[in-house]
Amino acid sequence: MSENLLEATGVEKHFPITKGLFKRQIGAVRAVDGIDLSIRTGETLGLVGESGSGKSTAGRLFTRILEPTAGTITFEGEDISHKSVTQMRPLRRDVQMIFQDPYSSLNPRHTVGAIISAPLQIQNIPTPNGVKKAVQDLLALVGLNPEHYNRYPHEFSGGQRQRIGIARALALRPKLIIADEPVSALDVSIQAQVVNLMEDLQREFNLTYLFIAHDLSVVRHISDRVAVMYLGKIVEVADRDDLYKNPRHPYTVALMSAVPVPDPVRRDRAQRERVLLTGDVPSPINPPSGCRFRTRCWKAQEICATEEPPLITRLDDPESHLTACHFPVVNDETVAGRRPAATPA
């Protein structure tokens, strides 16, 4: 049996653009445009990129909230790409999602008890000691007071609401949890608590995470591997330490250079080496030919406009480090040699 819990091959999601009374399609938003990605059993895979890169859409495809336009998604070797809602119901026990906004992901008309118990009742999960006791145990598990069973979401803080969302996702004891920016809406002081809780739960229940985020510091803390996404494409995948030490794709280098550095000495050096990308992210309706990053890349050459770079091992990197770039960044490449397209801060 494969060590991969979930595998995506050539997955696409295009949202049609229609016009006129008869809804004639005149184009499509290519939110996810042919990605290959695997999530290993028991690991945390971080998925990072700018807003609009397609991260959240990819997460919804993997949970089958959305149906892919093309490509194949397999879970434990079973093709789930085009299963119906009824066919997916048994698999919902194994794949759950934590949403970004704890304010909108919880129904304000339902009590916490009703929200967390809903998955148990929908899936007809037996609760020997009763539903209320099962929910209270879940509340205690995520660090909330079990006596708050009858309270409503508006009576909790943002961090507490996200813990309720985690408890709901955990109710069915899933194998895979897709966490879509679970801490980005929270105060910095609360983010660490929620991330540490997720790590504790992963160890206790042998969970597998896809952790979607744009905060590279959080991703570095929690992830085993990291995939970088740009304009619907995966541009780099590597083990966490390898990626942060030796980023190969120019886009990854630019993302890394934007991470705040608390040490004043290191911060001065980082500011001198800051890579500022020129231009805006191209439209996913009409992405650039060849490499999609070429319009903002300081290393772009003619081949980048005509030939899309495959996601493969480059230079002397290990097999686990994949990069989609014709001219990957070399470790000792100086900042001065990286531009003209980008300028120092």
* pLDDT value for 340: 38
Percent of the chain with pLDDT over 90: 72
45-89 residue pLDDT tens? 999 998 889 999 999 999 999 999 999 999 999 999 999 989 999
Beta bridge partners of 11: 35
Mean pLDDT of 309-318: 92
d(CA 227, CA 222): 13
pLDDT above 70: residue 138: yes
Return mean pLDDT, the chain.
Answer: 89
Could you write out the DSSP letters of every residue in 239-296? Answer: EHHHHHHS--SHHHHHHHHTS---SHHHHHHHHHT--BPPSPPPPTTSPPSSSTTGGG
Kindly list the distances between the CA atom of residue 96 and the CA atoms of 75, 129, 180, in Å, as whole numbers in the listed order: 13, 24, 11
Instruction: Give pLDDT, residue 273.
Output: 66
Residue 332's pLDDT band (boundaries 50, 70, 90)?
low
Assess contact for 125 and 90: CB atoms under 8 A.
Answer: no
% of residues, the chain, pLDDT over 70: 91
- Tens digit of pLDDT for each residue in 197-208? 999 999 999 999
pLDDT tens-digit map of 93-127: 999 999 988 888 899 999 999 999 999 999 988 88
pLDDT digits (tens, 9 = 90+) for 225-283: 999 999 999 999 999 999 999 999 999 999 988 777 666 555 555 444 677 777 778 99
